[in-house]
Chains A and B, each alone.
Chain A
């Protein structure tokens, strides 16, 4: 299942969890658990929340009110950098 998931991500370039879960035929919740697991294991990197927004630097921005809802993004690690399990 995880191999298939990684392959799907690799083939799509960018894909949303809901598209992934429907292609895998599993529930979005289970997919989320699997993505987090892959992240913990070093197969995916999570692109962090913009902590800069919390620092108050965005105060000057007229539309900063809308940045609470940044989407979560994971990036597939390159093969050669895949974390060795040993």
Chain B
């Protein structure tokens, strides 16, 4: 290992290093402020070109300090000195082969955890090193305090605090560079530990490759990179050594193919000890509140109870506040409006009166009366999301499965759909077997997403009135149980009990922003009203038309014929033709079923849709209808990802067909059981 403070001589660059002018290389991870510092020091006295053979920008320049001149090179940002990217190859080749007189490691005080990895590698290289502790302003804002003196003592390298954007600390930095360049000896540095056996392997490798290494490469360093699994270094060595040696090297590496973990672990332990010595304050308050709450919220048992409690509370709030308003609107606005319009249009043609009274007011009007319920429901879920709770639901479910001793392969992807099915489908990417994956995708829509729960919030009060809370809560829990059972079966049959393990990020809890929530509720309500004025209006008109054609009698209308044709299937679930037709229209959007019911019952009602319906159907029929609505075809977005992920329309349609069968089958079962139990 030669001294690396001889001025570099063989640089093929425009800005030729002048003899006696020391070269300083700026090294650091991306976004640490290297270029900011470079521009600050060199000003206009810089040259921008490309690194040889690469399109990566090379910046070098000169600057003067206290009458002394320096040559400065801005290296590309690199995470480590392992050749994971062209940038990393350039940076390490430059440091090793061009041997700058000093390497200035630019690190961020606000993110030392990340920046110190490179330093741990640089510290092990035989070159002069100074650490520029940049962004102390950002660190200060985040309440992180880095003790530069302690860090300097711990690493054994000068550490100078800096705010490059405000040129703060630059004089100290340049002074430290000068001193370091002048000092005849280097301080003892602290270096990451390498396990004793790996030290032995390293020196074995070193002996093997020593005679063949190109000039400039420190053999011990090369041996370590080989052990770490650095592909570039392995290629270089393979090309340089004779076949016999190459075989010996490969044998050693094969035997120690997990050495990376140990070597990197040594660096992390080193970083950890540096942090422990030099860093204080980490926004501890916020994290500990989250941790304290999560002790209960993510516990397999209490977490599950909290999840169930929260869902119950949401429905309770929604119905307790929303349902009375909904009823008042129905009785106070829709019913009088319908009868008033009916009287007003008494002389108008039959079709006009029917269209306006039954189609428009009965259909669209009925749907709109549910707006208060939806607004409260949207608000509750926005708040839960904003507070940071929603992610916990998937976590709790999976945790619960593990707690039960079910270390399943496909559980988490399934539960990830809590709130939205799309990530559940995408989550199945971790399943290698195509067959297992497709089946897991089929189950994904069983996860109660927020929109499905909104549908429940929408339909349950119409069927169950005052019992809506307990029914919708029970249905959601039921679908969760269904999911768990399906997951267990899937795991037994398809995955043969294969295990897998996940790390799942849980956002910090924070106080919700009522303004944001309010805005969200407002936007969603608006878009819902817009939908009521367009799609739902259209559906209502079509449904009304089909319900009076061809001869004005609902019972003999086209719609009734369609409904009656499907009634045999509907009957399994206890649905008459009206409910069957309503289910059919929910194919496009769930709220359509309300509109359809509104149209079909609109003319008869004196009490408002909800009460008319709850009087017209038995509880078991209502339960079956809600079940099939909850488990029915997923939304368009989910269907689109299913298509994208399975890559075939055939599978997508098969999937839809299977889900249809599943929802109808389960609803039929629910109906039968409910009847047997005398509900």
Contact = CB atoms under 8 A, between A and B. Distances in A.
Interface of A: 1-3, 6, 9-20, 22, 26-30, 32-35, 37, 40-41, 43-45, 47-48, 50, 52-53, 55, 57-67, 69-76, 78, 81, 84-86
B282 A62 contact: no
A41 to B, nearest CB: 6
B95 to A, nearest CB: 21
Interface string B273-307: 00100000010000100110010001000000000
Interface majority SS (helix, strand, loop, mixed), chain B: helix
Given A29-B282, A60-B636, A63-B524, 12 more contacts: A2-B262, A12-B501, A15-B503, A19-B294, A37-B117, A47-B427, A50-B426, A53-B422, A55-B640, A71-B394, A73-B503, A86-B234
Given A15-B503, A86-B229, A60 B589 contact: yes
A57 B636 CA distance: 7
Contacts of B113: 27, 29-30, 32-33
19 contacts: A2-B262, A3-B262, A12-B501, A13-B398, A13-B401, A17-B505, A18-B294, A26-B272, A27-B275, A47-B426, A52-B426, A55-B640, A59-B637, A63-B419, A71-B506, A75-B412, A76-B500, A85-B258, A86-B257
Nearest to A29: B113
A11 B399 CA distance: 12
Q: How many of chain B's residues touch chain A, expressed as a range?
A: 35 or more
A58 B451 CA distance: 11
Contact of B275 (A3, A30, A63, A71): A30
Interface stretch (B3-11, B39-47, B99-107, B377-385): B377-385
Most chain B CB atoms below 10 A, which of A11, A37, A64, A70: A70
Nearest to B523: A65
A34 B257 CA distance: 19
Interface in B65-120: 84, 111, 113-114, 117
A29 B520 CA distance: 32
Contacts of B416: 47, 73
B470 interface: no
A28 B253 CA distance: 33
Contact of B641 (A32, A57, A78): A57
B59 to A, nearest CB: 27
B269 A1 contact: yes
A59 B589 CA distance: 12
Nearest to A70: B423
Contact of A13 (B407, B450, B454): B407
B143 to A, nearest CB: 13
A12 B634 CA distance: 32
Interface in B390-445: 390-391, 394-395, 398-399, 401-402, 407, 412-413, 416, 419-420, 422-423, 426-427, 429-430, 432
A18 B257 contact: no
Nearest to B426: A50
B410 to A, nearest CB: 11
A48 B644 CA distance: 14
Contacts of A71: 391, 394, 504-507
B287 to A, nearest CB: 7
B294 A61 contact: no
